[in-house]
Structure 1
Amino acid sequence: MKHTKLISGIIGIILGVVIAFFIPTPVGLSHSGMVVLASLVTANIFWIFNVIPSFVTGLLMLSSWVILRAVDFPTAFNLFSSTTMWIIIGGLGLGAAATKSGLINRIALNIMKLFPANFGGQTLALFTAGTIISPMIPSAHPKTAMSTPLALGISESLGYKNKTKESSGIFLAAIWGFLVMEASFLSATAQNYAFKGLLPQKAQSTLSWGNWFMMMLPWTVVALVFGFFLLKFLFAPKDDKPASKEFISKQLQELGPMSRNEKITAIIILIAIVFWILESTLKIPAAVTALCGVSILVATGVLTPQDISKRLSWNTIIFIGTVMALGNVMQVVKLTTWLRVILKPVISPMLSNVYITVIALPIIIYLCKFVVVSLISTGTLIIIALLPFFSTLSFNPAIIALVVTTSVNIWMLSYMDAPFLTGMAAVNDKMATRVALAKSSLGYMVINIIGLLLCVPIWKLMGIA
């Protein structure tokens, strides 16, 4: 593995140097454009083979632009002062408070208590809990780390043995609810903001919290309904009689009464979501709402300065900032214009019609996921490849971000989805079999395309398709 990384890194650097300094600059492209193209090729190789941490690769890419005078420092690092970066930081802060206080655990358990204690009931409970909790925590790893141990407890209380189809189904219900349904809400994961930030400014303004939810509503319904029946069909036991809810009751008893910190966190998050929904009416940027919320949580002692430094994934935040910078810089150096001419024969047919796009683009992303493991890296590479064509699309580029965010979350092989690995590690890989993962992922891949197709009429009504 180390040799693979070393060899890949050397090849990446050599290719970058050759493109930047030894290949004649093509007609229509400046030397600055060649430098950015070279750095992009090198960075992609580093990201695909995980040569060094992704955020370090991103920082080196931005720094290379300044060192080689492709663009100046303010242009290269402009995205780090954008509202997108600050809402990611604020959103992760709110999520840290919800996790630390125990609020998320309490919400999930109380929802589970309302449903029958059998496979179907608890699958529906995990779907419901995950969907409700998703917009509160913009990070997949804490949600899967928290939800899968709950799923293990439910599976054991229902009498399912480990690594059976039934335990696999309960595990996947937790993953489906808490991870897959992230695509329904802008605030449910930092990668949604990252993909949004790569779009042109006009397209970004389309994707407010409320618009994102409405644009994804048909997909959300399809993903929940079809997903529920898929898991029941694949994994439910023949005799699905209700069992005791003792596990859930015991967990709630251990939590005790709702704490002061939980109450404060719940109020702040509820207010934040309302303000995000009404962002265009209130004229208060979503980033400001999130940062005010985090500030109140720190002032009231729910979060400490140590929590801010340890509970926020700063390497992810930095990585997102570096990849979002690509879109702006590629346009500044006219690289997008040149790439549009080069790639037009291949990409234009796929983007000629919105229905063709929502079928073809997910399939391309599925194939890419066999090579590029990182969800954010995959989505970023796809959006960057399509960036030159945004000005010629017959539909709003915001649709591309939605298609990407639903399609990168596949788990045909466990290595394809890092949050899945987190969930599996949280239960010591006791629950799901590899065959169960593959079957459910294949089902999701089909459901995803059906859901996106049913979104198109809504997009047309909204005037963006």
Structure 2
Amino acid sequence: MKKHTKLIAGIIGIILGIIIAFCIPNPQGLSHKGMVVLASLVTANVFWIFNVIPSFVTGLLMLCSWVVLGAVDFPTAFNIFSGTTMWIIIGGLALGAAAIKTGLIKRIAYKIMSWFPANFSGQVLALFTAGTIISPMIPSAHPKTAMSTPIAKGLSDALGYKEHSKASSGLFLAAIWGFLVMEASFLSATAQNYAFKGLIPVKYQAVLNWGNWFLMMLPWTIVTLVCGYFLLRFLFKPKDDKTISKSFIHKQLQDMGTMSRNEKITGIVILIAIIFWILESIVKIPAAVTALIAVSVLISLKVLTPQDFKTRIAWNTIIFIGSVMALGNVMQTVGLTTWLRIILKPVINPILGNVWITVIALPILIYLCKFAVVSLISTGTLILVALLPFFSTMSFNPALLVLIVTTSVNIWMFSYMDAPFITGEAAVNSSMTTASALAKSSFGYMIINIIGLLLCVPVWQLMGLA
């Protein structure tokens, strides 16, 4: 985005914030503190939409503005940074960093690919399978797309596909689909899942443990994998889907050599951590504690070094997530949620009145928002914050909204709408896919997503959540 556009947007955002906080009389039912929080939220959203300054800096300034302008005190504004969610994110990102550093993830990916036929259909299925299996190990989308798309590029070259051809686009999108889209299937697959979970009141968060999340999303996972596979085959399969030698894949595995000590340790530690996350309600060990113990073991065994802990973890992402998660608690503290419920009731009530309507209408609303709000976390935050006032009056568990938001923010009609796509394209020098391929596959996903969510509703009803 051009520099002057960011500057103009920044000035407009600040002016809007000042007008809301200090020039407009407090509406009935909302205090000055509530107006300050509303003003900061408006300004922050303008900054996030136009990327005026780094997103995490905007988030920190938003929190600081609440303290400086007297909306809440420091402990209230920054309370989220002492909560368990932030430590789960830190621990999860560190585990993912170890899996990438040791080469474990690449080894798993290539090994899975060696099991499938070396043709378009076989390797699309391999990328889907590898991405889905690897997703819960790395809670960050950018490293996964940066790693998976070059693998897809190597496969495309080995299969003899021309750059930007249908088949090349199909393999690129298969890597994205498996390693990025399927993140919604597992709580630990991306930090944004924890961020959205952290936005809702604590009393609703308990149901969103690792095991429940997986069960609640299982119909969606199956539908999205099966339909996604056939969608990419329909759109991009070459006429001559010939099978070639797997020499490329075998060479990659051969070059990696035998499994190293650090790979083995990382694999065992991550596997044990996932088991404890699944059994969290039984073993009574908080997920954050499990993550931190796992990271401590890796550092103690020198799989990760203190330097890795400083440089391989996206601390800016952690700060950004923490700042947006703080919104829910502060909005309730200053009475902003109650006021918004009254104002937005005529618009929101029809959407949330019935869970079947919600899983159709809410994704469509999110799709429309994504054309304006680029950041996945920002979009999800805006939606959940807008719906927060209605949690107490809903006919189904508000935790389900987190699942709907998680699956629906990840669309890519245009590459700018999904930052990890940009990372993936950059990793292969934009040599694999086309704008048309992105649009067609994204539109297909948008339909599949709603179908998958509809099929989840009976499971949610059996679990007593809807």
TM-score bracket relative to the smaller structure: over 0.9
Distance 1:438 1:27 in 2: 45
SS state at 2:350 partner: coil
Q: Compute the displacement of 1:292 (Å).
A: 0.5
Residues 29-40 of structure 1: matches in 2 within 5 Å? 29-40=30-41
SS state at 2:271 partner: helix
1:412-445 Cα deviation digits (max 9, x unpaired): 0011111001111111111011111110000000
Write the letter of the residue equivalent to 1:319. F
Aligned residue number for residue 3 of structure 1: 4
Distance 1:367 1:106 in 2: 39
Write the letter of the residue equivalent to 1:242. T
1:440-463 Cα deviation digits (max 9, x unpaired): 000000000000000000000000
Q: Compute the displacement of 1:244 (Å).
A: 1.1
Write the letter of the residue equivalent to 2:34. G
Distance 1:19 1:376 in 2: 24
SS state at 2:396 partner: coil
Residues 384-403 of structure 1: matches in 2 within 5 Å? 384-403=385-404
Distance 1:65 1:422 in 2: 34
Aligned residue number for residue 310 of structure 2: 309
Residues 103-182 of structure 1: matches in 2 within 5 Å? 103-182=104-183
Write the letter of the residue equivalent to 1:148. T
1:79-109 Cα deviation digits (max 9, x unpaired): 0000000000000000000000000000000
Aligned residue number for residue 413 of structure 1: 414
Distance 1:96 1:310 in 2: 10
Write the letter of the residue equivalent to 1:117. A
Write the letter of the residue equivalent to 2:97. A
1:123-143 Cα deviation digits (max 9, x unpaired): 000000000000000000010
Q: Compute the displacement of 1:113 (Å).
A: 0.1
- Mapped pair 1:54 → 2:55: yes
Aligned residue number for residue 447 of structure 1: 448
Q: Compute the displacement of 1:2 (Å).
A: 1.1
Residues 112-261 of structure 1: matches in 2 within 5 Å? 112-261=113-262
SS state at 1:412 partner: coil
Write the letter of the residue equivalent to 2:308. D
Aligned residue number for residue 271 of structure 2: 270
Distance 1:306 1:297 in 2: 13
1:375-418 Cα deviation digits (max 9, x unpaired): 00111011101111111110111111100010011010011111
Tell me which stretches of 4 or more aligned residues in structure 1 moved more than 4 Å. Answer: none
SS state at 2:324 partner: helix
- Mapped pair 1:361 → 2:382: no
Distance 1:321 1:229 in 2: 38
Aligned residue number for residue 460 of structure 2: 459
SS state at 1:128 partner: helix
Residues 8-23 of structure 1: matches in 2 within 5 Å? 8-23=9-24
Q: What TM-score comes out, normalization by structure 1 length?
A: 0.99
Aligned residue number for residue 94 of structure 1: 95
Q: Compute the displacement of 1:158 (Å).
A: 0.9
SS state at 2:206 partner: helix
Aligned residue number for residue 381 of structure 2: 380
Q: What TM-score comes out, normalization by structure 2 length?
A: 0.99
1:207-251 Cα deviation digits (max 9, x unpaired): 000000000000000000000000000000122121111110110
Q: Compute the displacement of 1:351 (Å).
A: 0.5
Q: Compute the displacement of 1:361 (Å).
A: 0.6
Write the letter of the residue equivalent to 1:82. G
Q: Compute the displacement of 1:18 (Å).
A: 1.0
1:349-375 Cα deviation digits (max 9, x unpaired): 011000111101111111111111110
Distance 1:148 1:15 in 2: 41
Distance 1:335 1:424 in 2: 41
264-273 or 231-240, larger mean C-alpha shift: 231-240
Distance 1:268 1:18 in 2: 53
Distance 2:18 2:430 in 1: 43
Write the letter of the residue equivalent to 1:110. K
Write the letter of the residue equivalent to 1:46. F
SS state at 1:349 partner: helix
1:53-97 Cα deviation digits (max 9, x unpaired): 111111011001111111010000000000000000000000000
Distance 1:168 1:118 in 2: 14
Distance 2:54 2:96 in 1: 24
Write the letter of the residue equivalent to 2:240. D
Distance 1:139 1:30 in 2: 39
Write the letter of the residue equivalent to 1:54. S
Distance 1:14 1:233 in 2: 50
Write the letter of the residue equivalent to 1:149. P
1:17-75 Cα deviation digits (max 9, x unpaired): 11111111111111111110111111111111111111111101100111111101000
What percent of counterpart residues are identical? Answer: 78
Write the letter of the residue equivalent to 1:226. C
Aligned residue number for residue 283 of structure 1: 284
Write the letter of the residue equivalent to 2:188. S
1:259-306 Cα deviation digits (max 9, x unpaired): 000000000000000000000001100000001000110111100111
Distance 1:3 1:155 in 2: 40
Aligned residue number for residue 293 of structure 1: 294
Write the letter of the residue equivalent to 2:411. I
SS state at 1:431 partner: coil
Distance 1:45 1:86 in 2: 29
1:113-156 Cα deviation digits (max 9, x unpaired): 00000111000000000000000000000100111111011111
Aligned residue number for residue 80 of structure 2: 79
| Structure 2: stretches of 5+ with no match in the other structure | none
Distance 2:180 2:311 in 1: 22
Distance 1:23 1:129 in 2: 54
Write the letter of the residue equivalent to 1:171. F
Write the letter of the residue equivalent to 1:187. S
